[in-house]
Amino acid sequence: MGAVDTEVMPGTDTRQDTDVRPDLSFGDGDHERFAHYVDKDKIVDSAVTGTPVVALCGKVWVPSRDPKKFPVCPDCQRIYESLPEGDD
């Protein structure tokens, strides 16, 4: 993670924060409108510890909404369907 620098602007008491962290958003916000596929054990761990999870499509977040209220992420669905069948 990058650093955050705070500068005092010359001749003022105004401070300017310079955030140099990379923008990890997907830009269009579509990932916020979908339910995503995540390992069941990771969901439970996230609920207890607040640790972010990683969906099959790559989205990283701390789940807080009811996934049943959203359509399934098309990228997660495609990846899930391409996986070999196995234990759930």
| Distance, C-alpha 35 to centroid of its chain | 12
**Domain range enclosing 59:** 4-82
Residue 74 lies in a domain: yes
- 41, 53 in Cβ contact below 8 A? no
Examine residue 88 and state whether it is found in any structural domain, yes or no. Answer: no
pLDDT in tens, 6-57: 455 566 555 555 545 444 444 445 557 899 999 988 988 998 999 999 999 9
pLDDT at 15: 57
Please check whether residue 71 lies inside any domain of the structure: yes
- Specify the number of domains making up the chain: 1
* Domain presence at residue 19: yes
87 in a structural domain? no
Q: Look up residue 18 and give its amino acid.
A: T
Residue 62 counted as domain residue: yes
43 falls within a domain: yes
